Chains A and B, each alone.
Chain A
Amino acid sequence: MGSLRTFIKDVRGAKTLAEERSIVTKESARIRTKLKDDHLPQEKRRKNIHKLLYLHILGEKTHFAQVECINLIASDDFRDKRLGYLAAMILLDEHQEVLTLLTNLISNDLTHPNRYVVSLALSTLGSLTSPELARDLYPDVETILARSTDEFLVKKALQCAAKLIERDASLLEIFYPYVGTILKSHHLCTHGGLLGVVKLCQVALSCRPQYEYDNYPEILQSLVANIPELFSLLQDMNSTSFNPEYDVGGTCDPFLQVELLYTLRLMFELAPQGTDRYKNKLNDILTKIATNSDGSKNAAHAVLYECVRTIFALQLDQSLKILGVNVLAKFLGGKDNNTKYVGLNTLLDVVPQEPNAVQKHRKFISRCLFDPDISIRARAVELTFAILNDSNMTELVEELLSFLKGSDDQDKDLIISTVNHLVNHFDSRTPDQENWAIDVMVQVLKVVGQHISLDKVSEVLLMINNGQDLNHKLQVIQQILTVSLGRLEGVVKGDNLAWKLMSVWCIGEYGDILLQKNIFSDTRLAEYLSALNHMYSDSIMLIGYVLTAALKLSSKTNNPGCVEELRQIIMGHTRDTNLMLQNKSYQYSIIFNQPAGLKHDILGAMPFFEKKSKGGSDKVSLQKNMAPPTKPVESSLLLDLLETSPPRNPPTKFHNDVLASQVENDTRTAPLAGNGVYASVPENAAQCYTSSEMAVFMRIKSVGPEGAELELFVRAVVPMHNVQIFAAVSKTQKLILGTLSSASLESDQVCVQELRVSGSGKLKFRIKIVHQGSDMNLKTEQFDHKFDQSL
């Protein structure tokens, strides 16, 4: 059996994967047999373990060597111990049963006279400790902390103690006093020792939920008492002169600085009262770090980054927050990609807190949209949407548009999410910038239509359909079709189905206007449909649109040749293998042959559509003008065709009173939008429901045989709009709802709803409250409430 070196060379020298495997398995089997030999000399044992470690790196199984590691640790030879401990750390983990064999060995080594043996034992205990090991061995670790004057051992013992507390929180009681004592003994406070101290602090601060005894407040107080020391450490490190040993690109030990900042952050978070008197000092120190650091090297950035995160985690003063945002903006302006990445990430977290300060730096954000790195582009897009508002909309959307223009196929996911965001964004806006929105979306489809799902295209079609400005609409359509029908084929990629779909739809819907104005000839339009019909026969949705467009166009032209071509398109699918197309084509062929007058009625212009409401099934809204929850354009086209009546007005017939079918005796309030009085909740009202968004109270004003009068109060926790209250009572009763005092509430404002109940039986209510949050989504909350009184 050769040496480790030969083995590694053999493996590396293997010409094929199979050869390598055979060398590896042979060696592995050989070691396995050797391990069974009890009389093997130690040197051979070490060699075996060395080879096993190499096998482990190669991804081979090494479980059979666990006991051998322990044999090596048990040896008195330092070479054996060192390798044994190393192998144990790498090959074992805390779930292995052999750890019980290790307990005594580690315990002995922790009291070994040689500091390096103790250090190995501490490191191994730190990596492998289980709750049992922690309980068995903590006294040895504590002895080191209490007695040792060796900084090297103390720094490791501190880290080890932190790990023991993580495994068994009750050990906190034993170890927490050492934070203070070691901070005070200066010879132990090297940077290594300090890293151990802050690690112990961090664990002590974060193990509160697991700690079962009730003296935690005292522990916390004793930890917080160390804040002045931590402050002075930070200040020293940010002074002009420091030990060059810890210099990292001009920053003094960024590792320790970051850990100190994080520890302080935990302390201020966990003990807001106890730390209040230190807050000003913390502000000063953070300001100093944030302004003084020379921000060109990664090490300095790491400290600045931690500093900014501390500022926002602790919600410090406004001036500091603005300073923090400026630091992040500087990150974006820099050259280093990693810094840009963390900068964007942090800004995303910070936007809700400081929207205006972030706004100021939107130039930097926009620049990141064109970064060569996709993860940075993705974050920049997200951030752009986060700061998008009415005032900067034009500017930012233009930026997004040029981002889309510059994007390539790698960015597919990002493009899709950008377009979704854009559609949603335009959705929730008032229509005063409608024309512009339509232009933008048409542009979007032009540049990245090949990535966009055809469902999203219907939303764009809906926008065009609902456009109020007819002149503009015509311009847009002309522009679309000039690109599609003209010789500008290169502008739109061949696989851009979304664009084709839009063109086809425009021909179907607005063919008459195009023909009247003589913009395109009817044969040209029919040819286009026919060409698409042949080229994209595998896209069912596009063919469906082509069929509809062909039918509609046929009613708008008198050219017999053209009509025949359109008829061919439709008839061509009556035997289509796709059932939907076949069905459609068959039905269309019937309509196709109807007399012109009837056909014209059927195929008239599309009505104006309201957008379907966003949200899940339970977010039912009874607002008027709500379109049915179906796919807006396509299905309505069909509905249009199946009825022989003239084009319908807005589809009012779909309003079904959903709540009425759910609960009986139901009434709905008509909210008096905007002008309500904001009453306060009287003291005798009973709280009957709370959620993260509202608290609801009810109060009986009077109750008697003729009926009961009640009041319901809603106190908003977050701002709410379009509040609607629905109530239902049991079947034996009748309910009349009065008016709602206000439909829009800011946080902490209250609105009142009067309820009058007549009939008999217990007073029981089912209340449902529908409102729009600040994100404009409808939200529903429902609960039942029962009173003791009855009618």
Chain B
Amino acid sequence: MVQIDYMLMISRQGKVRLMRWFCPYSAKDKNKICRELTTTVLSRKTKMCNILEYQDHKVVYKRYASLYFVCGINSDANNELLTLEIIHRYVEAMDTYFNNVCELDIIFNFSKAYEILNEILICDGAITETSKHSILKTVASMDALETSDNLDQVLS
């Protein structure tokens, strides 16, 4: 079972590039988690495992190029290895969408990164779709709908 409480994307310079909270944390807690995890995760060596214990829960992270994807998972029933696969699936989806994704794509198109994430994780951070094809098709259809709306407006 996987239920992700929060997902952060942190750059190697320690800047937060994206954050999505699936549980209602207070602003204070959010700041604390971001700050502390940034230092903890960045200071870990490459040989170390991608699972660490933080506060009362576990954190699973994975580095892709210059970005760290950090997920907080709470209950014991959570499968740490599968959490890594979810991160990977998300990265793959973004890679196809942006055609070889890089950090800059995410910085300037963060709302697209959110939209893609929303097609993978839903509600309390449960996984809702595993097919990369379906995920991207949905996002693309919604993008198309936006432009056609735009077109309607211009024509009228």
Chain A interface residues toward B at CB < 8 A? 5, 8, 12, 50, 53-54, 56-59, 61, 77-79, 82-83, 86, 89-90, 93-95, 114, 116, 119, 123, 126-127, 152, 155-156, 159-160, 162-163, 166, 190-192, 195-196, 199, 202, 245-246, 248, 253-256, 258-259, 262, 298-299, 301-302, 305-306, 337-342, 372-376
Chain B interface residues toward A at CB < 8 A? 1-2, 16-22, 24, 27, 31, 34, 45, 47-53, 77, 79-82, 84-86, 89, 107-108, 110-111, 114-115, 118, 122-124, 126-134, 138, 141-142, 145-146, 149-150, 153
CB distance from B77 to the nearest CB of A (A): 6
Contact B123–A338 (Cβ < 8 Å) = no
Q: Which residues of chain A are within 8 angstroms of B149 by Cβ–Cβ distance? A: 77-79
Contact B34–A298 (Cβ < 8 Å) = no
With A192-B128, A374-B48 in contact, is A156–B122 under 8 Å at CB?
yes
* Besides the known contacts A59-B31, A156-B122, 20 further A-B residue pairs in the complex with CB atoms under 8 A apart: A54-B110, A57-B16, A58-B16, A78-B145, A152-B138, A155-B128, A192-B128, A248-B85, A255-B2, A259-B127, A298-B81, A302-B84, A302-B85, A306-B82, A337-B47, A340-B49, A341-B51, A373-B47, A375-B49, A375-B53
Contact B85–A299 (Cβ < 8 Å) = yes
A-B contact pairs, 13 of them (CB 8 A): A50-B111, A77-B153, A78-B142, A82-B115, A159-B123, A163-B123, A195-B127, A245-B131, A301-B81, A302-B82, A305-B79, A339-B81, A373-B48
Contact B1–A262 (Cβ < 8 Å) = yes
With A338-B51, A342-B80 in contact, is A155–B107 under 8 Å at CB?
no
Q: Which residue in A93, A245, A258, A373 is a CB contact (below 8 Å) of B1? A: A258
Q: Which residue in A246, A259, A337 is a CB contact (below 8 Å) of B131? A: A246
Contact A159–B24 (Cβ < 8 Å) = no
Which of B1, B17, B134 is the most central at the interface, judged by chain A CB atoms within 10 Å of its CB? B1
CB-nearest residue of chain A to B114: A86
Across chains A and B, the number of contacting residue pairs, with CB separation under 8 Å, is: 166
Q: Which residues of chain B are within 8 angstroms of A61 by Cβ–Cβ distance? A: 27
Q: Which residues of chain A are within 8 angstroms of B124 by Cβ–Cβ distance? A: 126, 163, 166
In whole angstroms, what is the CA distance A126 to B119 when docked?
13
In whole angstroms, what is the CA distance A635 to B118 when docked?
66
Contact B49–A306 (Cβ < 8 Å) = no
CB distance from A558 to the nearest CB of B (A): 60
Contact A375–B52 (Cβ < 8 Å) = yes
Q: Which residues of chain B are within 8 angstroms of A5 by Cβ–Cβ distance? A: 108
CB-nearest residue of chain B to A158: B128
Q: Which residues of chain A are within 8 angstroms of B123 by Cβ–Cβ distance? A: 123, 126-127, 159-160, 162-163
CB-nearest residue of chain A to B30: A59
Contact B126–A90 (Cβ < 8 Å) = no
With A340-B49, A341-B51 in contact, is A53–B128 under 8 Å at CB?
no
In whole angstroms, what is the CA distance A373 to B47 when docked?
7
In whole angstroms, what is the CA distance A548 to B57 when docked?
49
Contact A341–B49 (Cβ < 8 Å) = yes
In whole angstroms, what is the CA distance A59 to B118 when docked?
21
Which of B2, B21, B82, B111 is the most central at the interface, judged by chain A CB atoms within 10 Å of its CB? B82
Contact A89–B118 (Cβ < 8 Å) = yes
Contact A337–B81 (Cβ < 8 Å) = no
Contact A254–B110 (Cβ < 8 Å) = no
Contact B48–A191 (Cβ < 8 Å) = no
CB distance from B90 to the nearest CB of A (A): 12
CB distance from A310 to the nearest CB of B (A): 11
Q: Which residues of chain A are within 8 angstroms of B131 by Cβ–Cβ distance? A: 190-192, 245-246
Q: Which residues of chain A are within 8 angstroms of B19 by Cβ–Cβ distance? A: 56-57
CB-nearest residue of chain B to A199: B126
Contact B1–A342 (Cβ < 8 Å) = no
Q: Which residues of chain A are within 8 angstroms of B21 by Cβ–Cβ distance? A: 93
Q: Which residues of chain B are within 8 angstroms of A202 by Cβ–Cβ distance? A: 1
CB-nearest residue of chain A to B130: A255
Q: Which residues of chain B are within 8 angstroms of A374 by Cβ–Cβ distance? A: 48
In whole angstroms, what is the CA distance A116 to B21 when docked?
23
In whole angstroms, what is the CA distance A259 to B114 when docked?
24
Q: Which residues of chain B are within 8 angstroms of A79 by Cβ–Cβ distance? A: 146, 149-150
CB-nearest residue of chain B to A155: B128
Q: Which residue in B45, B134, B142 is a CB contact (below 8 Å) of A116? A: B142
With A90-B114, A372-B48 in contact, is A159–B85 under 8 Å at CB?
no
In whole angstroms, what is the CA distance A39 to B27 when docked?
31
In whole angstroms, what is the CA distance A123 to B145 when docked?
18
Q: Which residue in A95, A192, A373 is a CB contact (below 8 Å) of B130? A: A192
CB distance from A188 to the nearest CB of B (A): 14
Which of B86, B108, B115, B130 is the most central at the interface, judged by chain A CB atoms within 10 Å of its CB? B130
CB distance from B43 to the nearest CB of A (A): 11
CB distance from B102 to the nearest CB of A (A): 14
Across the A-B interface, the 4 shortest Cβ-Cβ residue pairs = A337-B49, A126-B123, A302-B81, A93-B24
In whole angstroms, what is the CA distance A83 to B142 when docked?
11
Contact B111–A375 (Cβ < 8 Å) = no
In whole angstroms, what is the CA distance A155 to B141 when docked?
17
Contact B85–A262 (Cβ < 8 Å) = no
In whole angstroms, what is the CA distance A337 to B16 when docked?
26
Q: Which residues of chain B are within 8 angstroms of A253 by Cβ–Cβ distance? A: 130
CB distance from A50 to the nearest CB of B (A): 6
CB distance from B123 to the nearest CB of A (A): 4
In whole angstroms, what is the CA distance A127 to B6 when docked?
12
Contact B85–A86 (Cβ < 8 Å) = no
With A86-B118, A196-B128, A259-B1 in contact, is A306–B50 under 8 Å at CB?
no
Contact B134–A192 (Cβ < 8 Å) = yes
With A341-B49, A375-B51 in contact, is A82–B81 under 8 Å at CB?
no
CB-nearest residue of chain A to B62: A338
Q: Which residues of chain B are within 8 angstroms of A95 by Cβ–Cβ distance? A: 24
Q: Which residue in A94, A116, A255, A373 is a CB contact (below 8 Å) of B145? A: A116
Contact A375–B82 (Cβ < 8 Å) = no
CB-nearest residue of chain B to A49: B111
In whole angstroms, what is the CA distance A258 to B77 when docked?
11
In whole angstroms, what is the CA distance A681 to B111 when docked?
72
Contact B110–A53 (Cβ < 8 Å) = yes
Q: Which residues of chain B are within 8 angstroms of A119 by Cβ–Cβ distance? A: 138
Q: Which residue in A78, A259, A337 is a CB contact (below 8 Å) of B146? A: A78
CB distance from B109 to the nearest CB of A (A): 10
Q: Which residues of chain B are within 8 angstroms of A160 by Cβ–Cβ distance? A: 122-123
Q: Which residues of chain A are within 8 angstroms of B47 by Cβ–Cβ distance? A: 337, 372-373
In whole angstroms, what is the CA distance A203 to B110 when docked?
32
With A93-B21, A255-B2 in contact, is A342–B81 under 8 Å at CB?
yes
Q: Which residues of chain B are within 8 angstroms of A301 by Cβ–Cβ distance? A: 81
CB-nearest residue of chain A to B16: A57
Which of A5, A58, A196, A199 is the most central at the interface, judged by chain B CB atoms within 10 Å of its CB? A199
Q: Which residues of chain B are within 8 angstroms of A58 by Cβ–Cβ distance? A: 16
In whole angstroms, what is the CA distance A383 to B131 when docked?
39
Q: Which residue in A59, A127, A306 is a CB contact (below 8 Å) of B16? A: A59
CB distance from B41 to the nearest CB of A (A): 13
CB-nearest residue of chain A to B143: A82
CB-nearest residue of chain B to A50: B111
CB distance from A775 to the nearest CB of B (A): 24
Q: Which residue in B20, B50, B146 is a CB contact (below 8 Å) of A90? A: B20
Contact A159–B22 (Cβ < 8 Å) = no
Q: Which residue in B34, B80, B126, B145 is a CB contact (below 8 Å) of A338? A: B80
CB-nearest residue of chain A to B18: A57
Contact B115–A86 (Cβ < 8 Å) = yes
Q: Which residue in A196, A245, A259, A338 is a CB contact (below 8 Å) of B81? A: A338
CB-nearest residue of chain B to A342: B80
Contact B129–A159 (Cβ < 8 Å) = no
In whole angstroms, what is the CA distance A259 to B31 when docked?
32
CB distance from A395 to the nearest CB of B (A): 26
